[in-house]
Amino acid sequence: MGLGSTVIKGGTVLDQRGEKRVDVRIEGGLVTEVGAALQGDRMLDASGCIVSPGFVDLHVHLREPGREEAETIETGSRAAARGGFTAIVAMPNTEPPHDSLAVVEMVRRLGVQAGLCEVLPSGCITINRAGEVLAPMAELAAAGVHIFTDDGTGVQDPLLMRRALEYGKSLGILLAQHCEVSRLTEGAVMHEGGCCARLGVPGWPSVAEELMVFRDIELSRLTGAPIHFLHLSTAKSVDLVRGAKAEGLRVTAEAAPHHFTLTDDLLNGFDPIFKVNPPLRELTDVLAVKRGLADGTIDAIATDHAPHAPELKEMPLDQAPPGMLGLETSLALSISELGLDLQQVVALLSWQPAAIAGVADRHGRPIEVGEPANITVFDPNLAWTVSAAGLASKSRNTPYAGRTVRGKVRHTVFGGTAVVIDGEAQR
Amino acid sequence: MKHLRSIDELGVDGLRRLLDLSDHMAEINRRPVPKVPALRNKTVVSLFFEDSTRTRLSFETAAKRLSADTMSFSVGTSSVNKGESLRDTIETVAAMGVDAFVVRHKSSGVPWQISRWTEASVVNAGDGWHEHPTQAILDCYTVRTALNRPEGFDGMHIAIVGDIKHSRVARSNVWAFASLGARITLVAPHTLLPPSLEGWPVDVVHNIDDIIDRVDVLYMLRMQRERMHEALVPSLREYTAQFGLTPGRADRLQSHALVMHPGPMNRGVEMAVDPGELPGSVITQQVTNGVSVRMAVLFDLLGSGSALVGEASS
């Protein structure tokens, strides 16, 4: 963080306390003054913009180590900062995966070096994400890992999942499940339904997700340990989580923008850009995910940002890897497509995921004197057209290229430093 | 027509046009020298990423009878085995000057991907479980000639029996037969049907004996032995007993009914009779007609109206 003060001027502060037209002064990494007509050494124009707590993404694939041709911690952090995120949870399915202290510490250190947002490494539930032996959860938790997941795959063995919940409960960490009963999705390419039947590709039935959501709700009930559900994609999954919450169970959930904006019929042209796991589903599922976000069943919008090198997304549909970019389009899609008021959109992007990620002491804080200065400034009305080449990610696999959306990040302040100014990353 | 990737894309008018053109090609094929200069100086490349005998030979024969230059590619001897990507393979071959690619691939959708990377026409010779449009056209042509129904298939009842779920032939034939007016019944256990038939112009029965004496065409699909391992049917023996064409069932066919099969047949499984002894079998005609139909397809994609008038040359 530089010397002197920075003032965010002319915007509307929107946080969990409400909305007010004030300027914000930042010094030494903290908010030092909130008030009218402030002056500082550096001014960030926020006229017409919302000034909100920084966003937190619970679900990002940074690909480093192992797949640096698709993304690095630095390029992914840059995409995150441009998307308004001040903290991101790095998924564990790297090569090697996050099942040892060495890898977790390396990911964190590379995040610090990039200096664009806080990179929070998740930890594997099982060694090599193989679903057989628990990873050293206590050791990783002691190093600051809060979210444990085998994302990319679900923990298939119900006994092992029960043990992980019981063991993790004593550590105060959170297990996050990628819900997919693998035996029901072998070879699956897309959502199992009318489109898949016509296109002649193996289907990914909704029930493969729902069975695991149900199982883990019951295991959470049995063990008393909390469970977080990654990327809910089906109407029934949303209903199951809604029911569990109504019973007071310790359940949280996230949804990805592509699951509330895109449907399976986009695969009619066999373009792997639309292949993702869990897959794009039907309109009824999209509407259910939207309802879940609106009524509080789903706690967070998480991107499942999954970069892939172009040659992999040009393979035949059944061989191409699943996944799509998300960091730089998440805010705009949330504003444009959800029909929620901005307070609710920001809650889903900021303080609610911050609490799940265990970083509510420093991210998603209200914008008040003495709070850490992790702040996003965005124009909620600016219309722009997504272009793959215009994204900071090292990969180009956005399904939204050419789509005009509304809402764009203007500045991102991370740890008191303006890392994005007028949409441009500063490092 | 730029590409032939699916029956839907072809449309009923295109289908009828190709059937009429196939009559003309069949006439050429009956000549002592069945060759015309219609596609001279055109290059047709067969890209078969999956094994095939009859489809590949049929396309190559068709191209040669129209005097096209042909190039052939098979995975076993190609750079694909050195890790070359599909796109690089296409762009490399296209750079040699190609007018049409004839593509067979085990993955559904590959002809659509290829058509995004080349200016050449793309003919789908079978993609995964998805479509096999020239098979559907030659089957329509076979029915049309064998039952003498040039005007269309109104009132005709066609049963397609067997593994619909994994069949590109079924996914093309259902729409082709239906667009010409036929009534279609699928005959299969639920494990061998697609997960949804919403929007498909078909009825479904699970017992072949319910309809075998009423159909005008009995279309038998190949039952792949691998399916046994996926718990889709308990055993081949049970499959044959429930869905196979046995001598007893053959006796119940109407006298005019056709028996068809896209090949290769599994004798003793779906075909538990010798097709040579079935009066209604047109399985050999399907293969013969395949050449005429593929000539029609290639000519429609690459030829011009006047070229055919030139008639036979050497």
Cβ within 8 Å, pair B195-A205: yes
Give the residue carrying structure tokens 């056209």: B137
How far B129 CA sits from the closest chain A CA (Å)? Answer: 5
- Cross-chain residue pair A317–B194, CB shorter than 8 Å: no
Residues of B in contact with A317 (CB under 8 A): 107-109, 113
pLDDT band at B74 (very low <50, low <70, confident <90, very high): confident
The whole-angstrom distance between A193's CA and the closest CA on chain B is: 6
Beta bridge partners of B161: B187, B220
CATH of B133-283, one of 3.40.630.10, 2.60.40.1840, 3.40.50.1370, 3.40.190.10: 3.40.50.1370
Any CB–CB contact under 8 A between B105 and chain A?
A: yes
- Beta carbons of B174 and B136 less than 8 angstroms apart: no
B267 touches chain A (CB under 8 A): no
Chain A / chain B CB contacts < 8 angstroms? 71
**Interchain proximity B107–A205, CB inside 8 Å:** no
* Main-chain dihedrals φ then ψ at residue A412, nearest 5 degrees: -130, 125
Beta-bridge mates of residue A175 = A148, A227
Q: How would you class A8 by CB atoms within 10 Å of its CB: exposed for 0-12, middle for 13-18, buried for 19 or more?
A: buried
Q: Which two tokens stand for residue B205?
A: 């029965």
Chain mean pLDDT for chain B: 93
| Span B7-132+287-310 CATH architecture | 3-Layer(aba) Sandwich (3.40)
Kindly determine whether residue B131 and residue A197, on different chains, have CB atoms separated by under 8 Å.
no
Which stretches does DSSP call E strand in B5-153?
A: 43-48, 69-74, 100-105, 121-127
Q: Is the pLDDT of residue A332 over 60?
A: yes
Residue pair A413/A32 in contact (Cβ under 8 Å)? The answer is: no
Exposure of A285 in the CB half-sphere (CA atoms within 13 A): 28
Residue A420 is inside which H or E element, if any?
A: strand A417-421
pLDDT, tens digit (0-9, with 9 covering 90-100), for A336-367: 999 999 999 999 999 999 999 999 999 999 99
Shortest Cα distance, chain A CAs vs residue B193, angstroms: 9
B chain contacts of residue A270, beta-carbon cutoff 8 Å: 108-110, 112-113
CA distance A119 to A113: 10
Contact B85 A314 (CB under 8 A): yes
In chain B, the percentage of residues whose pLDDT exceeds 90 is: 87
Query: In this model, does residue B125 exceed pLDDT 80?
Result: yes
**Which domains are present in chain A?**
6-50+369-425 (2.30.40.10), 54-357 (3.20.20.140)
Nearest-CB residue to B105 (from A198, A199, A316):
A316
Reported as type and span, the H/E element at residue B66 is none
pLDDT of residue B76: 64
- DSSP label at A300? E
To the query of whether residue B82 is one of the catalytic residues in this protein, the response is yes
> B109 CB near a chain A CB, below 8 Å?
yes
A150 vs chain B: nearest CA distance in angstroms? Answer: 27
- Residue-level pLDDT at B80: 65
The beta-strand segments (E) located in chain B are 43-48, 69-74, 100-105, 121-127, 157-161, 183-187, 203-205, 217-220, 258-260
Active site residue B3: no
pLDDT of residue B84: 79
**C-beta separation of A81 from A414 below 8 A:** yes
Q: Residues 6 or more apart from A66 whose CB is under 8 A from it?
A: A94, A95, A96
Task: Please give the Cα distance from A226 to A229 (Å, whole number).
Answer: 10
Task: Tell me the catalytic residues of A.
Answer: 304
ipTM above 0.90, yes or no: yes
pLDDT at A49 over 60: yes
CB A143 within 8 A of CB A104: yes
The tens digit of pLDDT for each residue in A202-229 reads 999 999 999 999 999 999 999 999 999 9
Equal fold, B7-132+287-310 vs B133-283: yes
- pTM here is 0.95
Tokens 């007018």 found at: B99
Of B86, B128, B196, the CB nearest to A201: B128
Residue B310, pLDDT > 60, answer no
Query: pLDDT by residue (tens digit) across B238-263?
Result: 999 999 999 999 999 999 999 999 99
- Here the tokens at position A17 are 């306390």
| Chain A nearest CA to B145, separation (Å) | 29
State yes or no: pLDDT of B306 exceeds 80. Answer: no
Q: Tokens for B116, please give them.
A: 């995004």
Per-residue confidence band for B220, with pLDDT thresholds at 50, 70 and 90: very high
Look at A311 and B87 and tell me if their CB atoms are within 8 Å.
Answer: yes
Q: By C-alpha distance, which of A419, A406, A427 is closest to A345?
A: A406
Q: Is B250 exposed, middle or buried (0-12, 13-18, 19+ CB in 10 A)?
A: buried
Average pLDDT for B132-136: 98
User: Do B107 and A192 count as a contact with CB atoms less than 8 A apart?
Assistant: no
pLDDT of A2 strictly over 80: no
- In the predicted structure, residue A174 carries a pLDDT above the cut 60: yes
HSE-up (13 A, CA, CB side) for residue A245: 17
C-alpha closest to that of A117 among A160, A151, A74: A74
- Predicted pLDDT at A124: 98
Cβ contact, residue pair B195, A192, below 8 Å: yes
Is pLDDT of A24 > 80? yes
Q: Are B131 and A270 in contact (CB < 8 Å)? A: no
Nearest CA in chain A to B200: A198
Which residues from chain B sit within 8 angstroms of residue A269, using beta carbons? 109, 112
B191 touches chain A (CB under 8 A): no
pLDDT of B308 reads: 63
Chain A partners of B126 at a C-beta cutoff of 8 Å? none
State the pLDDT at residue B225: 78
Q: Give the residue carrying structure tokens 């064998």.
A: B146
Q: Which residues of chain B make contact with A319, given a CB cutoff of 8 A?
A: 107
Per-position DSSP letters for A84-124, written without gaps between them: TEEEEEEPS-SSS-S-SHHHHHHHHHHHHHH-SSEEEE-B-
Residue A182: which residues within 8 A CB-CB, separation 6 or more? A153, A154, A156, A208
Is the CB of residue B195 less than 8 Å away from at least one CB of chain A?
yes
Nearest C-alpha in B relative to A195? B196
Answer yes or no: do A193 and B128 touch at CB < 8 A: no
CB A154 within 8 A of CB A229: no
Query: Would you call B196 an interface residue with chain A, using a CB distance cutoff of 8 Å?
Result: yes
Q: For residue B74, count CB atoms less than 10 angstroms from its CB and return exposed for 0-12, middle for 13-18, buried for 19 or more.
A: middle
Calpha distance A355→B17 (Å, rounded) = 65
- Say whether B105 and A270 touch across the interface (CB within 8 A): no
Report whether A227 contacts A250 (CB < 8 A): yes
Write down the residue that tokens 């020239």 correspond to: B134
Domain map (residue ranges) of chain B: 7-132+287-310, 133-283
Measured CA to CA, the distance from residue B199 to residue A265 in angstroms comes to: 14
List the single residue in A with minimal CA-CA distance to B230. A186
Question: Binning pLDDT at 50, 70 and 90, where does residue B314 land?
Answer: very low
Instruction: Give the per-residue pLDDT at B313.
Output: 45
Q: Is B55 a catalytic residue?
A: yes
Q: What is the pLDDT of residue B79?
A: 64
